[in-house]
Amino acid sequence: MSARDGFGQVLRGEWTKLVTVRSTVWCLFLTVGLTILLSIIGAQGSSTNVGDNAERLLEDRFHFMHQPLDGDGTITARVVRQEDTGDWAKAGIMIKQSTEPRTPYVAMLVTPGHGVRFQADFSTDVAAGAGGTPAWLRLTRSGTTITGFTSPDGAAWRQVGTAELAGLPRTAEVGMFAATPASGTRVIRRGGSTTSSPDYEPSTATFDSVRLAPAAGGPAGAWQSDAIGGGVEFADGTTLVGEASESGGVFTVTGTGDIREVPFTERGDDDIVRNALGGVYLGMIAAAVLGVLYVTSEYKTGMIRTTLTASPRRGRVLVAKALLLGTVTFACGLVASLASLLGARPIQRDRGFVPPFYPDPSLTSGTVLRAVFGTAAFLALMALLGLGLGAVIRRTAGAVVAVLALAVVPGIASSLLPVEGEKWLQRLTPLAGLAMQQTRERWDNWVSPWPGFAVACAYVALALAAAVLLIRRRDTA
Amino acid sequence: MKHAPRFRGAPAIAAARVSERGMGVTALHHRGGPGLVRALHGEWTKLRTLPSTGWLLLGLVASTVGLGAVTTWSIPTDCLDPDLGCREDLARVNLTGVYLAQIAVVVLAALAVTAEYGTQTIRVTLTAEPRRGLVFVAKAIVVTALVAGAGTVGVLGALAAGRPILSGNGFTTAAGYPPLSLGDEPTLRAAGGTVLYLLLVGLLSLGIGMSLRHTPAVLATVLSALFVWPIAASLLSGEWAARVMKYAPMNAGLAIQATERLDDLLIGPWQGLGVLAAYAAGTLLTGAVVFSLRDA
């Protein structure tokens, strides 16, 4: 084999075509330019008023089986069983100023994923080591000081934490509670409009050995069942209210919600990194057209015959094309995504996406890097999809339409389908590759980053495999 | 798809046929046939003999009926429960196929222009008929006629296919959903409006085709103009998102399909179609000016 026949020679030939054909150079330029342009326009047109309220935001929603406790006293209970509806589902005992939400409280509680804990006033959180149910819990009030204890057997007690609740009235509410944070998002599409709300799976806990000292004045019926903060209302209009009951000394409490301060980063739900990279929706069209033209223009001008005469091993020609196109588009895509992210950020800040609600994305963060590189890789994949379909179809018009119909249209038509249909369409089309841009949990993340990327790669692999197979078997038209 | 290697495909065949007719054109002229009729005849022959035309029209009809049937079948039946107080827009969902069908229209209209530039048949055309305005009008009429015909078949097919699916899923007169019928004014507006929408998209594509002349450039531009705006709107918030959705060609134009909750629309059905018509008129005008001033 002479040197001229080597793979390096093929690569060089394809490189020359890529950088000297006017339309492919234009497409590369447009891929970068349009991506940045739409990203900046998108940032200009976005806004949020999340920063208007800088006060603490407290979530206080749970189900409470309680009765008043007059003055100092102690409550003891054993959590026999807790339904595992999430790592942070909570079941335990509480002393709370009143049944009004967001009033001060102290609680000893058990969680499925984070053991036994002492929590107070939406800020104190003390871990008492691992250990699930059954768990013995105790709270003792002395003046405005409340101390939490836990025990493996109900005999030997260990102090976990203590908290001072300034202004705690003489009579406070005391009892057993259950709560579980949102497990996801419930999306309802009905009559053409889409609404979403947090979705909850209620958690049930059972308690026994409940002792109140000094003993309650009234009969056992003095226990009252209340949904603190009200029930949960879903987007579809249904509501979920917890419940509590007592039978033979065993208490069953079912509740939803959470007791915590909502962190600043959860107060707004925009994924600012994904939004800053939104220009990819325009750039991907230029990238796909680039891939198509890189091969169909050779068919149009008849150049392909010269190419394949000079290098008769046809599969290798395509491999060389794919390698070069992929590398060059990825490099240009990286420029585009970095420029979009850095260019859009100051604008986003002006539009209200400010720290601490929206901290500046850091280029050392794994998810941000995944989004930046993933966007570049997605553009490269679109170019390769165009290349594969271009080599299969050989006509510019047909291939451009095929690649856009496959990659762009489903994303739009899907909003007319029922939510399940949209979910699967987004998972199964090449657009799934854009899941790499996710940097936070959102209800419309239908597919996780890497599986979504794998779906896009699978399309490209199929198209390129078909192209290699066909270019070997077919006459050059 | 047929291949004619030496002539690089069918546009060249069309070119050959047109030049065969060169003598016939003269003969017709002597017989005093009006210029537009001849121009129309020439354009009709060129478009008819592009192998892609048949496939595209078939695709237009098939996607209108097929995608319409699938989405109609998938309409959630929740709203059949009168307590929920919601209503599904059956006609609109039934005509969802237009989202795919418009791609065929875009390609058809683009190729009606760009195929001629690709093969340089345009020079023959303009030699035979130097009045460029006439050629332009003839192209627009032929494209419009083809799209109107196929669009009507597709829309009627979608409605016909949708009726048994809907009644099978419980959307019956008793449940407050009478069968989709062109006798109802809103359904007629949605169905007729869908055909008009496809015509306008064709004219938009034709106008941009006249300006840009290169197949990939035209397709990428028109398809981006149609499909990218709704995605871009999802990046925007509030007022800007509403503005984009109100004036983007596809969203505005397809407001004509709404038969329920017209008050919730960002733009009224006819106003929306008017926005699309304005875009089409703008690109046609630009295309016509460019076409008459520029060398072929």
Tell me the domains of chain A and their CATH numbers.
3-50+268-473 (no CATH), 58-261 (2.60.120.200)
B129 vs chain A: nearest CA distance in angstroms? Answer: 27
Q: How far apart are CA A391 and CA A294, in angstroms?
A: 9
pLDDT at B293: 85
Which residues of chain B lie closer than 8 angstroms to A23, CB-CB?
A: 214, 216
Which residues of chain A lie closer than 8 angstroms to B84, CB-CB?
A: 190, 237
Closest CB from A191, A278, A416 relative to B79: A191
Between the two ends of chain A, the Cα-to-Cα distance in Å is: 28
Query: Complex ipTM, two decimals?
Result: 0.76
Is A142 in CB contact (< 8 Å) with chain B?
no
| Nearest of A258, A355, A350, A272 to residue A61 by alpha carbon | A258
| Residue B111 resides in a domain | yes
pLDDT at B45: 84
The secondary element (H helix, E strand) that includes residue A301 is helix A280-301
Within 10 angstroms of residue B27's Cβ, the number of other Cβ atoms is: 11
Q: What is the DSSP letter of A163?
A: E
Is A474 in CB contact (< 8 Å) with chain B?
no
| Residue B4 resides in a domain | no
Q: What is the number of structural domains in chain B?
A: 1
* B95, HSE (Cβ side, Cα atoms, 13 Å): 29
Which residues of chain A lie closer than 8 angstroms to B238, CB-CB?
A: 47
pLDDT at A216: 61
- B-contacting residues in A 295-324 (Cβ below 8 Å): 300, 302
pLDDT at A2: 47
Which residues of chain A lie closer than 8 angstroms to B92, CB-CB?
A: 192
| Residue B2 resides in a domain | no
Q: How far apart are CA A402 and CA A408, in angstroms?
A: 10
| Alpha-carbon distance values, B217 to A285, A394, B224 (Å) | 11, 17, 10
**Single-letter code of the amino acid located at B117:** Y
pLDDT tens digits for range A288-319: 999 999 999 888 788 888 888 888 888 888 99
Is A237 in CB contact (< 8 Å) with chain B?
yes
| Residue B1 resides in a domain | no
Intervals of chain A under pLDDT 70: 1-5, 191-192, 216-221, 477
Which residues of chain B lie closer than 8 angstroms to A302, CB-CB?
A: 8
Close Cβ partners of A364 (under 8 Å, ≥ 6 residues apart): none
Which two three-digit tokens encode residue A356?
């601490």
| Residue B92 resides in a domain | yes
Domain range spanning residue B155? 9-293
Close Cβ partners of A174 (under 8 Å, ≥ 6 residues apart): A66, A67, A68, A69, A73, A75, A93, A94, A95, A96, A139, A141, A212
In the block, tokens 């836990």 appear at A150
To test the contact with chain A by mutation, choose from B53, B231, B243, B259 the residue with the greatest count of A C-beta atoms within 10 A, namely B231
| Residue B3 resides in a domain | no
The secondary element (H helix, E strand) that includes residue A174 is strand A171-179
| Residue B273 resides in a domain | yes
- A-contacting residues in B 135-174 (Cβ below 8 Å): none
pLDDT at A204: 94
pLDDT at A237: 74
Which residues of chain B lie closer than 8 angstroms to A400, CB-CB?
A: 215-216, 219-220, 223
| Nearest of B281, B237, B247, B241 to residue B267 by alpha carbon | B247
pLDDT at B263: 80
Q: How far apart are CA B215 and CA B119, in angstroms?
A: 12
Contact A38 B230 (CB under 8 A): no
Q: How far apart are CA B178 and CA B3, in angstroms?
A: 50
Altogether, the residues listed in chain B come to a count of: 296
To test the contact with chain B by mutation, choose from A408, A420, A434 the residue with the greatest count of B C-beta atoms within 10 A, namely A408
How far does CA A57 lie from the centroid of its chain? 21
Q: How far apart are CA A167 and CA B149, in angstroms?
A: 80
Contact B93 A416 (CB under 8 A): yes
pLDDT at A217: 57
Mean pLDDT per 10-residue interval, chain B, length 296 residues: 41 44 44 71 83 89 93 85 81 91 93 84 80 86 95 96 91 88 92 97 95 88 87 75 87 91 85 95 93 80
A357 vs chain B: nearest CA distance in angstroms? Answer: 17
Peptide bond into A451 cis (omega under 30): no
pLDDT at A293: 92
